[in-house]
């Protein structure tokens, strides 16, 4: 039997989700607070309703993608909508935290519906592409039941855990790594610029250095997973060696009057790590300081 899907929210992301489903020939209802935003999707074959409860009632799989969890809760917790949820599967694709996902799972299940939490690791233009990853956590059975539809939205989509908050936590964890790199790039550009280097040179040499950086990144993760914190023959660079190079960043910030907020925090972690584990430890030995 073909599953009828309801996409709640026709913003940039919701429209892309609905368009992808429609292009794949999936029967799709759409609903948006401002009905006009549904018009291009209706032109592609979507059905729509004035009342959200009617669109939910007509569907088996409910995908929600609105601006935030408050907006989502205000929509779902209307009496007519919450009573229409019974027997359906709700997939929350609005960005949120692990705590919000846990609370939502309890509430949705109390309405007699199944719940999966999702995190979209892509921009709207990537939806439907083989390389797009949407992460899901919560009921594995619900993921499996709708696997084909979920893989239509992103070829690298995956169920990452049985606990509802895990997809949102992984979203935050992956973005944290990205922000580390982006803030690092901002600081690096300031250092390069202060010594008269062009950002083109910075960009070119960053690209050449990137494989080395990536290798160190995965090595740190693997060593942390194995708790191999002591320096050994495979250590790429000891904590002491990292710190010796790091002091040049502090010096550059001081000499050139650059912002020192981020380097100071890194310096604090280096100090703590060196005093606990000594200069011969692996860089991964800093990991427990952040727990």
Q: Cα dist. 6→31, 106, 123, 146 in Å?
A: 8, 21, 20, 13
Structure-token match 């999936």, residue found:
26
Closest residue by beta carbon to ligand NAD: 11
Q: Rounded distance, CA 95 to CA 120, Å?
A: 8
Q: Among the candidate windows 64-72, 138-146, 190-198, 239-247, which touches ligand NAD by CB under 6 A?
A: 64-72
Q: Which is nearer to ligand NAD, 132 or 286 (CB)?
A: 132
CB-CB neighbours of 205 under 10 Å: 12
Q: Which is nearer to ligand NAD, 78 or 220 (CB)?
A: 78
Q: Rounded distance, CA 109 to CA 29, Å?
A: 22
Q: Which two tokens mark 258?
A: 């650059």
Q: Which is nearer to ligand NAD, 66 or 192 (CB)?
A: 66
Q: Which is nearer to ligand NAD, 21 or 66 (CB)?
A: 66
Q: Among the candidate windows 21-29, 62-70, 175-183, 262-270, which touches ligand NAD by CB under 6 A?
A: 62-70
Contact 194, 254 (CB under 8 A): no
Residues 92-131 that bind ligand NAD (CB under 6 A): 94-95, 120, 123-124
H or E stretch at 74: helix 69-76
Binding letters toward ligand NAD, positions 1-40, x by CB under 6 A: --------xxxxxx-----------------xxx------
> From the CB of 65, what's the least distance to ligand NAD, in Å?
5
> From the CB of 133, what's the least distance to ligand NAD, in Å?
11
Conformation bin of residue 29: beta by default, left when phi > 0, alpha when psi is -120 to 50: beta
Structure-token match 């997973």, residue found:
225
> From the CB of 12, what's the least distance to ligand NAD, in Å?
4
Binding letters toward ligand NAD, positions 206-245, x by CB under 6 A: ----------------------------------------
Q: Rounded distance, CA 102 to CA 114, Å?
A: 13
3-class state of residue 289 by DSSP: helix
**What DSSP string runs through 212-227?**
HHHHHHHHHHHHHHHT
Q: Among the candidate windows 68-76, 145-153, 179-187, 207-215, which touches ligand NAD by CB under 6 A?
A: 68-76
Q: Is position 75 an interface residue for ligand NAD (rule: CB under 6 A)? A: yes
- Beta pairing class for 47-48 and 28-31: parallel
Q: Rounded distance, CA 239 to CA 260, Å?
A: 21
> From the CB of 207, what's the least distance to ligand NAD, in Å?
25
Q: Is position 48 an interface residue for ligand NAD (rule: CB under 6 A)? A: no
> From the CB of 15, what's the least distance to ligand NAD, in Å?
7
Binding region for ligand NAD (CB under 6 A): 9-14, 32-34, 65-68, 71, 74-75, 94-95, 120, 123-124
């Amino acid at each position: 039997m073909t599953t009828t899907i309801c996409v709640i929210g026709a913003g940039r992301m919701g429209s892309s989700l609905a368009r992808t489903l429609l292009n794949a020939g999936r029967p799709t209802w759409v609903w948006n607070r401002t009905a006009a935003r549904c018009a291009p999707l209706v032109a592609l074959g979507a059905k729509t309703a004035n009342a959200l409860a009617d669109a939910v009632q007509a569907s088996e799989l409910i995908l929600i993608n609105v601006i935030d969890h408050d907006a989502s809760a205000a929509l779902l917790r209307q009496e007519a909508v919450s009573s229409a949820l019974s027997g359906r599967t709700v997939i929350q694709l609005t960005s949120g935290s692990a705590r919000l996902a846990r609370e939502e799972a309890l509430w949705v299940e109390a309405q007699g519906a199944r719940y999966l939490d999702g995190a979209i690791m892509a921009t709207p233009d990537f939806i439907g592409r083989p390389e797009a990853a949407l992460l899901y956590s919560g009921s594995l059975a619900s993921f499996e039941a709708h696997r084909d539809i979920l893989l239509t939205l992103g070829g690298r989509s995956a169920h990452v855990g049985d606990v509802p908050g895990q997809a949102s936590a992984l979203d935050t964890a992956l973005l944290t790594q990205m922000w580390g790199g982006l803030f690092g790039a901002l600081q690096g550009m300031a250092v390069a610029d202060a010594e008269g280097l062009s950002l083109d040179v910075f960009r070119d040499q960053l690209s050449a250095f990137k494989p080395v950086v990536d290798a160190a990144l995965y090595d740190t993760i693997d060593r942390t997973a194995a708790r191999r914190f002591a320096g050994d023959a495979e250590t790429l660079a000891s904590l002491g060696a990292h710190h010796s190079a790091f002091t040049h960043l502090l010096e550059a910030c001081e000499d050139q009057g650059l912002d020192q907020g981020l380097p100071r925090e890194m310096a604090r972690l280096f100090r703590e790590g060196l005093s606990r584990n000594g200069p011969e430890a692996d860089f991964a030995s800093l990991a427990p300081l952040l727990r």
